[in-house]
Amino acid sequence: MKTRITELFEIEYPIILSGMSWISVPNMVAAVSNAGGLGILATGPLNSEQTRGAIREIRQLTDKPFGANASLMLPGAVDNAKVLLEEKVPVINFALGKGDWLVNGAHKYGGKVVATVVNLHHARRAQDYGCDAIIATGNEAAAHGEDVTSLVLIPHLKDNLTIPVIAAGGFADGRSVAAALALGAEGVAMGTRLMTTKESPLHDHFKKLSIEKDVYDTLYSKRFDGIFCRVMKTDKAQKAMKKGLDLPAAFFNGQEIAKMLRMPFFKLMIGAMLSGWKTARQLAYFANAGKAFQLATEYGDLKRGLLPVGQVQGLIHDEPTVAELFERIVKEAKEAQAKLSASLV
C-alpha cells in the first residue's frame, strides 16, 4: 500500500497506532512498527526520565520508524515533548495545545510532526505553522472525538487542507481502511482494534469485554474527563457519567500524579489554581480519569476502571498478533477495492 503517509513516514502500511496511555508502551510500539505500520509511544503517564528510557527501549526493539505523543495540556507534557526533540524521535504527535515550537525543533533534525485535531479550525492552525500531517478524530473514536463523524470529517478536512489527513475513529478492518482512502485520507490511526492484539498490554479482563461488547456498548460524555470522551459501557462508566467530577478524589489522585511526575504536590496544586478555575477543573477531571483508565488497562479492575474505546469494539471478534492483523487488513482492503471497482464499471 502506498500513500503520502507511507512515503512521509517511510513505512509499509498507512496504519498508525494511536498513542494510548498504558497501552502504547515500547513493546507495543515496536510490534506495530515491525509489522509495517507506525507505532506511537504514549508519554502521558511518564515523567521525562521515563520518556527518555522508553524511547531508547523502542530503538533496541526496532530499527523501523516510530513516533511518540504529547498531550500538551497535561502536567509534565512540555518536559516530555522536549525529550522527544532531544532524542530526535522520527515522528512527534501532539494534541491539546499549540505545537509550533515542536514543528520548528523536529524539522531541524528531519523529524515529522502530526497534530491530532477534531475540527477544521485546529487543522488549519496546525497546517499554518508547518505540521506535516494531521490526525482527524471523528465522533466514533475512543476518547476524544467531537461532534462530526469520520464519514463527514475526513472529506471536509481533505477539501480544505494541503497536508495529508490521517483518519481516526471507526477503523478496524480492511473495509474501513479502503473507505478512509476513498474519502481522501492518506492513512488511518487505530486504537481500539490494536488494543485487542496479542502484543497489547491491555488486561485480559478488558480484552475479553472488547470482544464481547457490541457497537452500541459505549458511552459518550464530558463527565468522564472533562472533555467529550467515549468509553466502554460498564456499570462503573454509567455511575461516573451520572456523578461527574469528584473533587475529593481529584485531590488524592493529584497527589499520585505529582509523585509519578516527581513534582511536589504543592507546586502542582498551586500551578493548577493559578491557571484559572476552568483549567484547574479540567486538570481535576484528568486526575480522576487517568486513575480510572490505569485501573482498567493495567489492572483489569472492572469495578473502578474506565476504558476508552471506539464504537468499532463491536467489530472485534478475535485477538490476533499485530502482524496477522495487518496482513488481514491489507487483504481485505484490496478485496474491497476490487469489489468497488467492479461495481462502478
pLDDT in tens, 22-32: 999 999 999 99
Structural domains in the chain plus CATH codes: 4-200+317-343 (3.20.20.70), 214-297 (no CATH)
Cβ-contact 115, 166 below 8 angstroms:
no
Exposed, middle or buried, 12 (CB in 10 Å: 0-12/13-18/19+)? Answer: middle
Task: Please report the beta strands in 118-260, taking only residues with DSSP state E, as ranges in sequence order.
Answer: 133-137, 165-168, 187-190, 218-221, 229-232
Coil/strand/helix, residue 42: strand
pLDDT tens over the chain, length 345 residues: 899 999 999 999 999 999 999 999 999 999 999 999 999 999 999 999 999 999 999 999 999 999 999 988 777 889 999 999 999 999 999 998 889 999 999 999 999 999 999 999 999 999 999 999 999 999 999 988 899 999 999 999 999 999 999 999 999 999 999 999 999 999 999 999 999 999 999 999 999 999 999 999 999 998 888 889 999 999 999 999 888 665 455 544 555 555 555 655 555 555 555 566 466 666 666 677 778 899 999 999 999 999 999 999 999 999 999 999 999 999 999 999 999 889 887
Name residue, grid cell 465522533. Answer: 139
User: What's the predicted TM-score (pTM) here?
Assistant: 0.90
Per 3-state DSSP, the chain is made up of helix, strand and coil in percentages (nearest 5) of: 50, 15, 35
Interhelix angle 322-343/26-34, rounded to 10 degrees, is 40
At 6-22, the pLDDT tens digits run: 999 999 999 999 999 99
- Cβ distance 36 to 12 under 8 Å? yes
